[in-house]
């Protein structure tokens, strides 16, 4: 009985929100950027409050850029680079001066319902839409010590049969070369010498959700072996509309689900869950030579949980 109560206490403690933290002080003089995803609700639900808080946080902690982990547009993507949704889902919502920086996007499943080439081509229209391809990698100097951060942005819908084989609803997904992308990811990680490595995509490898298990199964079979092989520090994604941090005993990787920047859903723990929360929000990633932290935040800017890795 005592063991059962202790186990229950540990579960509750691990899922409880972190104590109030002085984010500004903790990330001062570090390399910082924002992470957001599942934006596109035309400003409805919590999209406007989250966007405003992202701008406020960006002003206080000096962020370098925003990583956008897919689904900038619900529900059927965009038709072209002139689609009005670019204004109502993105430009007019994320209008804080501190958000006029580079945004590094990936494509989500909702964009695959529309014109994915328009998502790529929007870089020619918007100076801050810094999308270099369907998948790409960036390396950043963290400080003067020589420490570096590698971000690997990947295209997850074509890695999942649900989208790959549904030519009617996701016509462009089946045109992508699944194996070519996996080979590219493997090659990038093979030659990688960065101090810290984060792989970013839209779909989770491990997560609690009511969505079909087939999605995670395909990601576990196709992507996860590469994450484990190369001992990636963090894989972070969106799609599920809840905050989750999962660290399995059989993997060196921290798996993070960043919640929706608009509409959130209920969530419960699974194997390896260190934290989960049903809340909208975003995250701040803060990097130094000594450690890598992801501050998971709600729409009010409160730190709910911190994922920390040290060298």
Query: Per-residue pLDDT for 19 more than 90?
Result: no
Distances (CA, A) of 224 to 231, 237, 249: 10, 13, 14
Domain that holds residue 79: 2-310
On average, the pLDDT of the chain sits at 94
pLDDT band at 10 (very low <50, low <70, confident <90, very high): very low
Residues 35-82 pLDDT 10s: 999 999 999 999 999 999 999 999 999 999 999 999 999 999 999 999
Tens of pLDDT, residues 206-225: 999 999 999 999 999 999 99
The predicted structure's pLDDT at residue 20: 57
Distance CA 122, CA 100 (A): 15
Total tally of structural domains belonging to the chain: 1
Whether 22 shows a pLDDT value over 90: the answer reads: no
* Alpha-carbon torsion, ordered 189, 191, 192, 193, to 10 deg: 150
Helix-strand-coil percent breakdown of the chain, rounded to 5?
A: 30, 25, 45
Number of C-alpha atoms within 13 angstroms, CB side, residue 240? Answer: 30
Q: What is the CATH number of the domain that holds 50?
A: 3.60.21.10
Query: Sorting pLDDT into bands at 50, 70 and 90, what band is 112?
Result: very high
Place of tokens 């030519």: 167
Per-residue pLDDT reduced to its tens digit, 23-41: 999 999 999 999 999 999 9
Reply yes or no on whether the pLDDT at 13 is more than 60: no
Q: Are 276 and 269 in contact (CB under 8 A)?
A: yes
Secondary structure (3-state) at 32: strand
**Can you read off the two tokens belonging to residue 89?**
């889902």
Residue ranges of E strands in the chain: 31-36, 65-68, 102-105, 136-141, 148-153, 196-200, 234-237, 243-246, 254-257, 273-277, 281-287, 291-298, 303-310
Full-model pTM: 0.93
Residue 116 has pLDDT above 70, yes or no: yes
Spatial distance between the Cα atoms of 170 and 42, rounded to a whole number of angstroms:
22
Contact by Cβ (8 Å): 282, 265: no
Q: How confident is the model at residue 298 (pLDDT cuts 50, 70, 90)?
A: very high
Q: What percent of the chain has pLDDT over 90?
A: 92
**Phi and psi at residue 284, to the nearest 5°:** -115, 125
Tell me whether residue 103 is exposed, middle or buried, using C-beta atoms within 10 angstroms of its C-beta: 0 to 12, 13 to 18, 19 or more.
Answer: buried
Predicted local distance difference test score (pLDDT) of residue 45: 95
Over range 183-210, report the average pLDDT: 98
What 3-state DSSP class applies to 115? coil
Q: Higher confidence at residue 135 or residue 211?
A: 135
Q: Say if residue 2's pLDDT is above 60.
A: no
For residue 295, give the 3-state DSSP assignment: strand
Distance (Å, whole) CA 242 – CA 275? 11
Q: Is pLDDT of 7 > 70?
A: no
């Amino acid at each position: 009985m005592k063991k059962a109560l202790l186990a229950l206490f540990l579960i509750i403690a691990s899922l409880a929100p972190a104590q109030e933290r002085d984010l500004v002080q903790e990330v001062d003089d570090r390399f910082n950027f924002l992470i957001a995803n599942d934006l596109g609700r035309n400003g409805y639900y919590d999209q406007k409050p989250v966007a405003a808080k992202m701008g406020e946080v960006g002003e206080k902690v000096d962020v370098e850029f925003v990583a956008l982990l897919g689904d900038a547009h619900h529900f059927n993507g965009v038709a072209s680079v002139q689609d009005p949704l670019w204004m109502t889902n993105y430009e007019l919502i994320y209008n804080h001066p501190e958000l006029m920086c580079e945004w590094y996007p990936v494509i989500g499943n909702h964009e695959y319902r529309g014109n994915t080439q328009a998502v790529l081509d929007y870089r020619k229209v918007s100076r801050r839409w810094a999308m270099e391809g369907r998948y790409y990698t960036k390396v950043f100097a963290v400080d003067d010590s020589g420490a570096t951060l590698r971000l690997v942005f990947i295209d997850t819908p074509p890695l999942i049969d649900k989208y790959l084989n549904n030519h009617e609803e996701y016509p462009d997904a089946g045109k992508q070369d699944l194996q070519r992308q996996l080979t590219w990811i493997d090659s990038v990680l093979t030659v990688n010498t960065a101090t810290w490595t984060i792989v970013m995509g839209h779909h989770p490898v491990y997560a609690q959700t009511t969505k079909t298990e087939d999605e995670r199964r395909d990601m576990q079979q196709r992507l996860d072996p590469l994450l484990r092989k190369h001992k990636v520090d963090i894989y972070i994604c969106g799609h599920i509309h809840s905050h989750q941090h999962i660290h399995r005993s059989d993997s060196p990787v921290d798996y993070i689900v960043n919640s929706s920047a608009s509409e959130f859903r209920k969530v419960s723990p699974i194997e390896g869950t260190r934290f989960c929360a049903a809340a909208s929000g975003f995250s701040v990633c803060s990097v130094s030579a000594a450690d890598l932290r992801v501050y998971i935040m709600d729409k009010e800017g409160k730190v709910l949980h911190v994922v920390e890795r040290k060298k």
